[in-house]
Amino acid sequence: MPDKSLAAEYSEPVKHDEKENRTVQVFGVELKDLDGGGTLKKQYAGQVLQVGTKVEELRNGLEAAIPYFEEFSGAKVVLTALPDETFIDEMEKDLSQQHRFDVVLVPGAFAHSYAQSGYLKELSPFIQDKSVVSPNLDLDDFIPSLLDHYGYYKGKLYALPFKPDAQILFYRKDLFEDIRNRELFQNQTGKPLKVPDTIDELYETARFFTLAYNPQSPVLYGFNMMGKADWSRWTFTNRLGAYGGKDVDKDFKPGFHNDAGVQAMKTYVELEKYVPPDYTDYGWIEANRRFIEGDVAMMEQWPGLSKAAEAAGSRVQGKIGYAVVPGAGGVKSPTMGAWTMAVANNPLRQESSELAYKFAEYVTGKDVELLKISSGNDPTRSSNYRRPQVTSANPIYPVLAESLSRVKVSADPDVPFVISKLNTMQEAAVQSVIRHKVSPEQAVEQMAEQFEQVVREAGLYE
């Protein structure tokens, strides 16, 4: 998911001293664990570590930590950042054929495909080796949903979470706090105006803030969403878990071929009444631009929208609130994504495996991960969401932490080998509904048949 954190506006490491005993601070937090819990003593001097990831914020996040890792480990780190457009294809080609990389930063669901293919090393042997593992590793400190869903595969640990994502409800807090809007909503509905908790409340509130339905609305549209192909499926997945469905079950059978899937798909039919008429042309950039122009009351989006919304020149700067996406039946289930660090099972560079593990452990550490926030990579450690210096500088963080604790559905169907195909099928189903080609019921039926066919052809059904 494209994502840059609001913390980028606040976080810059501060070096008080360039000597060995210097102090490094982020958010006013002194980073005391730059030597891997005392396990990095320049013992890897002379070794070269090859790291692979994607361009922009992921590359920048690693670059923030690399100088410290090189200093304390003695190793030289070579970072290769693959372009966004070809990242998945190039990464898989490298892991399977070229074997350049020792350690990789990849999407969590794709790490499972790589583990299934034998491209990654299990991390437990390194963790169980007391001469290797940092005493400060503390696996229990990772946000449980991230580690459980993306770190483990078939009961074995293959990856450590580096960057979390969860869909968030962005709303115009100035509109919700305005006394005139509150009185008008009360008069029209008999209810107090509040940030919606349920999908029905979302419909009602979106209608109130849509000028076509309420001539006294201060904005044109009550809601906005991405409707462009490749970007449109997350409104569906934001509802699917709340209604009791899943993308796939433990046997890779469709978990949406039921009433939950139909109800989640019907969300588009109602919400499109309250969005800009050209929303089907909106991807990440277009939808965010429309929101920060100030004529939309609410939008579900990845956390990166916060940086654009709070930037200088934004018409909604200082006017945004954050909430967990609305649910149903007392259940909220925002869509989750993550990027994870994994050690490549590189047949040409087996001697670098221990160093590769140490790098993955290092950049996901409690202290060190604060270095990455300025480049748009939010924390994956529960303890960092409890640090007042971090949360006070970043109003989205309490909501992001709560959202990650509620997730039930992944941004990418977690099925080895065929994730990209299933994503395409989800998008096609959504597009067929929002472009009024088929009913939600027909779209779910067709998508379920396609899912089963692709998974069967991949040989994943026993």
DSSP states of 139-202 as a string?
Answer: GGGB-HHHIIIIIEETTEE-EEEEEEEE-EEEEEHHHHH-HHHHHHHHHHHSS------BHHHH
Work out the angle between the directed axes of helices 440-457 and 419-434 (0-180°, nearest 10): 170
pLDDT string in tens for the chain (462-residue length)? 554 443 434 344 444 445 455 689 998 899 999 999 999 999 999 999 999 999 999 999 999 999 999 999 999 999 999 999 999 999 999 999 999 999 999 999 999 999 999 999 999 999 999 999 999 999 999 999 999 999 999 999 999 999 999 999 999 999 999 999 999 999 999 999 999 999 999 999 999 999 999 999 999 999 999 999 999 999 999 999 999 999 999 899 999 999 999 999 999 999 999 999 999 999 999 999 999 999 999 999 999 899 889 989 999 999 999 999 999 999 999 999 999 999 999 999 999 999 999 999 999 999 999 999 988 899 999 999 999 999 887 889 999 999 999 998 999 999 999 999 999 999 999 999 999 999 999 999 999 999 999 999 999 987
Residues 148 and 380: beta-carbon distance below 8 Å? no
pLDDT score for 9:
40
Mark whether 248 and 389 lie in a shared domain: no
Query: Are 379 and 373 a contacting pair, CB within 8 Å?
Result: yes
Q: Are residues 54 and 147 located together in one domain of the fold? A: yes
State which of 404, 428, 453 marks the end of a domain: 404
Residue type, 6: L
**Secondary structure class of 49 (helix, strand, coil):** strand
Q: Is 338 in contact with 380 (CB distance < 8 Å)?
A: yes
**Do 60 and 180 belong together in one domain?**
no
Identify whether residues 42 and 153 lie together within a single domain. Answer: yes
Are residues 296 and 179 located together in one domain of the fold?
yes
Specify the residue for token string 């945004």.
320
The confidence score (pLDDT) of residue 20 equals 53
Single pTM value for the model: 0.91
**What distances in angstroms separate CA 245 from CA 184, 338, 380, one per listed residue?**
36, 21, 26
Query: Is 121 in the same domain as 251?
Result: no
DSSP 385-449: HS-HHHHHT-TTHHHHHHHHHH--SBSS---TT-HHHHHHHHHHHHHHHHTTSS-HHHHHHHHHH
> How many structural domains compose the chain?
2
Domain hosting 85: range is: 6-165+337-404
User: What does each C-alpha distance from 21 to 24, 29, 31, 159, 318 come to in angstroms?
Assistant: 10, 16, 12, 32, 39
Coil, helix or strand for 207? helix
- What is the C-alpha separation between 452 and 254, in angstroms, rounded? 7
Tell me if 71 is assigned to some domain: yes
Q: Show the beta-strand stretches assigned E in 209-332.
A: 298-301, 320-324
Minimal CA–CA distance to 69: which of 98, 34, 32, 111?
Answer: 34
> Domain with 27 in it: what CATH number?
3.40.190.10
Locate tokens 């006294």: which residue? 216
